[in-house]
């Protein structure tokens, strides 16, 4: 049984992603979410500002005793004081990476759910807490960390195949569609990139300076070891051309959470991110033993 456990912590910084990328890392004061109880964490933060200026932050909640991710909504006022926190999506399968975005006259969430055997798009039915499945997105593989953007009149998805540990970490696929519910067309060059340092998506794709910037995870040394900008110079039905930038520096105040960063997402004038520490304690091993004996069922 593995003793190491990745423990993530989310932060909010008053810098837009283009400024962070230009500076080579996250600077300035960070508003940190409170640490979770032992062997639990919040990770993969995505956000949305409502009409009152409040920040709706969506994140994976994970407890190593249960090993089943759910999505929680944390609501902050315009001064980033926490107002409310509640679960907003629970499924029989593990959920994470809850990308939230607007399009086609509605609000959507596209969470990572490869253990369900596919990818499901959810529509908001009220208050950004009532999410209901709208459609299943059919692709050329079961994806992990699918990241969506609008580009030249179409929807584009960047994702890694859940086929194996290697493809999860090192392969990048692309697909496009005219409508969110498809049909989706896989890029003929898939996998368009194979590189453990710069293939798995890790945040909000966006145009910067005439190029598309996709945050990607550097998994060469450890899962989610750091975030790099992947600069995409050509994205169309026939070609994909990109080059990876240098890994972004973590904030100096990350403390013990300096062993990885695997999400960087945009929310207007603020950026959301997560960083990790690795627990290697005997207590973590004993938790696994107790769980194996049915102690947390």
Establish if 102 belongs to a structural domain: yes
Q: How many distinct structural domains can be found in the chain?
A: 1
Average pLDDT of span 130-159: 98
Establish if 190 belongs to a structural domain: yes
Q: Which of 203, 143, 135, 138 is nearest to 172 (CA)?
A: 143
297 pLDDT more than 70: no
In CATH, what number is assigned to the domain containing residue 105? 2.115.10.20
- Over the stretch 154-190, which tens digit does the pLDDT of each residue have? 999 999 999 999 999 999 999 999 999 999 999 999 9
Domain that residue 194 falls in: 5-292
Q: What separation, in Å, do the N-terminal and C-terminal C-alpha atoms of the chain show?
A: 18
Q: Which of 90, 182, 78, 95 is nearest to 131 (CA)?
A: 90
Establish if 297 belongs to a structural domain: no
Distances in Å between the alpha carbon of 65 and those of 2, 40, 290? 14, 8, 9
Residue 32 sits at the vertex; the CA angle it makes with 29 and 34, to the nearest 5 degrees, is 155
DSSP string, 159-201: EEE-SSHHHHHHEEEEEEESSTT---EE-TT-SSEE-TTS-EE
28 pLDDT more than 90: no
| Residue 224 near residue 247, CB atoms below 8 Å | no
DSSP string, 79-133: T--EEEEEEEE--SS--EEEEEEEETTEEEEEEE-GGGTSEEEEEE-STTT-EEE
268 pLDDT more than 80: yes
Establish if 53 belongs to a structural domain: yes
Residues 6+ apart with CB under 8 A from 237: 176, 185, 187, 188
- Over the stretch 58-96, which tens digit does the pLDDT of each residue have? 999 999 999 999 999 999 999 999 999 999 999 999 999
Establish if 40 belongs to a structural domain: yes
């Amino acid at each position: 049984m593995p003793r190491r456990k990745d423990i993530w912590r989310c932060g909010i910084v008053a810098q837009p992603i283009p400024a962070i990328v230009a500076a080579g890392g996250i600077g300035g004061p960070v508003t940190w979410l409170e640490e979770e109880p032992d062997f639990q964490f919040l990770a993969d933060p995505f956000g949305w500002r409502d009409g009152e200026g409040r920040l709706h932050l969506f994140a994976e909640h994970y407890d190593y005793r249960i090993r089943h991710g759910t999505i929680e909504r944390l609501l902050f006022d315009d001064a980033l004081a926490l107002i409310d926190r509640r679960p907003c999506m629970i499924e029989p399968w593990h959920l994470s990476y809850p990308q939230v975005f607007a399009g086609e006259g509605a609000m959507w969430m596209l969470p990572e759910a490869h253990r369900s055997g596919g990818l499901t798009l959810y529509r908001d039915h009220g208050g950004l807490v009532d999410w209901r499945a709208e459609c299943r997105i059919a692709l050329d593989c079961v994806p992990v960390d699918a990241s969506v953007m609008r580009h030249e009149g179409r929807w584009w998805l960047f994702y890694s195949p859940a086929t194996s540990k290697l493809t999860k970490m090192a392969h990048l696929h692309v697909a496009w569609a005219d409508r969110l519910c498809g049909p989706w067309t896989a890029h003929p060059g898939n996998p368009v990139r194979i590189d453990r340092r710069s293939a798995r998506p890790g945040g909000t794709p966006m145009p910067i300076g005439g190029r598309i910037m996709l945050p990607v995870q550097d998994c060469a040394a450890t899962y989610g070891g750091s975030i790099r900008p992947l600069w995409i110079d050509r994205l169309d039905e026939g070609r994909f051309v990109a080059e990876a930038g240098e890994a972004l520096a973590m904030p100096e105040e990350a403390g013990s959470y300096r062993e990885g960063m695997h999400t960087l997402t945009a929310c207007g004038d603020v950026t959301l991110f997560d960083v990790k520490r690795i627990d290697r304690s005997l207590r973590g091993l004993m938790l696994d033993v107790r769980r194996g004996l049915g102690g947390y069922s």
